[in-house]
Amino acid sequence: MRYRACWISDLHLGSKKAETELIYSFLKRNEFDVLYLNGDIIDIWRWKQAGLLKAKNTQEHINVVQRLLKLAKKDTPIHLTIGNHDEFLMHFLGDNHGHRDFGNINLAERIEHTTADGKKYLILHGHQFDLVTRTAPWIAKLGDRGYESLIWINKIVNRIRRRMGLRYWSLSKFIKLKVKKATMIIGNFEESALHYARDHGYDGIICGHIHNPEIKVNENGPDYLNSGCWTDLANCNALVERMDGSIDLIHWNGEDEVILKSTDPERGETYLPTIYELGRFPDKKLRKHQASVAVDEVLVGI
């Protein structure tokens, strides 16, 4: 698949939670007119973990970096915006935090993108709208440890669920959707981002940071788009611009894209389950049957 533009964020390379195999397959199987790496690409907060990874896992992280460098070498423009987990890159910016070019890789704190249909989007990681990250970074780092613990528990839970023939279930996603405090924080983050975009005359804003993929199209104001993360099999998301200027939120299952939401109202918000939500079954016939049943359930609910 070829995309006019693509946004991915929160890869967290160097940490145990990065889904490196899926990241690499996405970068390998697709082509990009321009690629935006929207913050937290390298997780400096977890850099010590890189020395604790197994040799195979370490190589997977290196493969992703090499793939990105190969794309840049083949004349794919790459824009790397800085997040809170890779904030050390701020030292490499130009005067007054201006952007700096390293070959085909552009480093910046924020950047603008104009779609094929003329809409102007502001692109930045999003930690700028997170009051905790800005005023009490030690609390943010403590929360990050808690999130990593959730990811670790989630892997154990799903290892058991797979043995029982159950489908993949995301603990972190469940908490974000069901815990009132978490949903309130996400709502405040989105409103802050939209307020900033509105005040500065943008048609939309594209963020990462909170690991909650989303597209919200507002009739009377800027659109809010979030590229999610690559630390949970339930996510592994990207925002992709089609040649007509519309932007889709997709899930990458290792082989194909699954469209979750779109700025194009004709594509709607029909949700199709991914292979991870259907579960990984050793019996291909059983897996095919499970997929068929799940899709039928979705279609009945539309």
Domains with residue ranges and CATH for the chain: 2-269 (3.60.21.10), 273-302 (no CATH)
Q: What is the pTM of this model?
A: 0.74
pLDDT computed for residue 196 by the predictor:
94
Question: Stretch 187-213: mean pLDDT, rounded?
Answer: 92
pLDDT digits (tens, 9 = 90+) for 28-68: 999 999 999 999 999 886 665 555 566 668 899 999 999 99
Residue 251 above 90 pLDDT? Answer: yes
Residue 191 above 50 pLDDT? Answer: yes
- What is each CA distance from 297 to 233, 274, 290, 291, in whole angstroms? 22, 14, 11, 10
pLDDT computed for residue 51 by the predictor:
56
Residue entry with tokens 């130009």: 94
* Radius of gyration of the chain from its Cα atoms, rounded to whole angstroms: 19
pLDDT digits (tens, 9 = 90+) for 145-157: 655 666 667 777 7
User: What angle in degrees, to the nearest 10, is found between the helix axes of 20-29 and 55-73?
Assistant: 30
pLDDT digits (tens, 9 = 90+) for 231-246: 988 889 999 999 999 9
pLDDT computed for residue 52 by the predictor:
56
pLDDT computed for residue 130 by the predictor:
72
Question: Which range among 43-52, 115-124, 264-273 has the greatest average pLDDT?
Answer: 115-124
Confidence class of residue 175 from pLDDT cuts 50, 70 and 90? Answer: low
Asked if 32 contacts 6 with a C-beta cutoff of 8 angstroms, the reply is yes
pLDDT computed for residue 295 by the predictor:
36
